Every structure is written in structure tokens, then in C-alpha cells.
Amino acid sequence: MSDLQKQFDAAAANSKNLTERPDNATLLKIYALFKQASVGDNSDNKPGFGDMVGRAKWEAWNGLKGTSNQDAMQQYIDLIESLS
């Protein structure tokens, strides 16, 4: 396991123990970076208009299309560290 993967896993664990709940925009960024780092580009179908939360998550993740998983991991780690 690479050092980056270990740092990513630690950041994912730390994300559950943040002192304050981030605002919704930051939560979407956390979600999108995590998905991009762990799954890669979004290939899911866009949720319907009635699923506003699912649609917001989909759009946030889809906005990172083309970002490498290593870049997404590093951005995720940096974001979680900045919130801790």
C-alpha cells in the first residue's frame, strides 16, 4: 500500500471525527473527491429532478471528471486536514 493510500485512508477515518460539521458545499466537495479517488470518473446515470440531494452529489462528482485518483486523493487529504 502506498503512502498516499495510507494518508487517504487516515483522512477518510478522520473525516468522521471533525470538530464541526462542514457546510453543504464543503460536504459535496468531500463526497466528490472521495468518489473520484476511490471509484474514478462518474459513469452513473444522473438522478432525476426529484432527487435533489442525489443530483447535487452526482454533479459535484461529475465535475471532477478527468482528475486522476492520485490528485483526488491528495486534494481530499488536504481538505480534511484543513478542516481538522
DSSP of 21-61: PPPHHHHHHHHHHHHHHHT-S--SPPPPTT-HHHHHHHHHH
**pLDDT score for 84:** 85
Mark the ranges of the chain whose per-residue pLDDT is less than 50.
none
CATH number of 3-83: 1.20.80.10
Spatial separation of the C-alpha atoms in residues 5 and 76, rounded to whole Å: 11
**pLDDT score for 2:** 83
Spatial separation of the C-alpha atoms in residues 14 and 12, rounded to whole Å: 5
The pTM score is: 0.91
The amino acid at residue 41 is D
Do the Cβ atoms of 83 and 21 come closer than 8 Å? no
Domain range annotation of the chain: 3-83
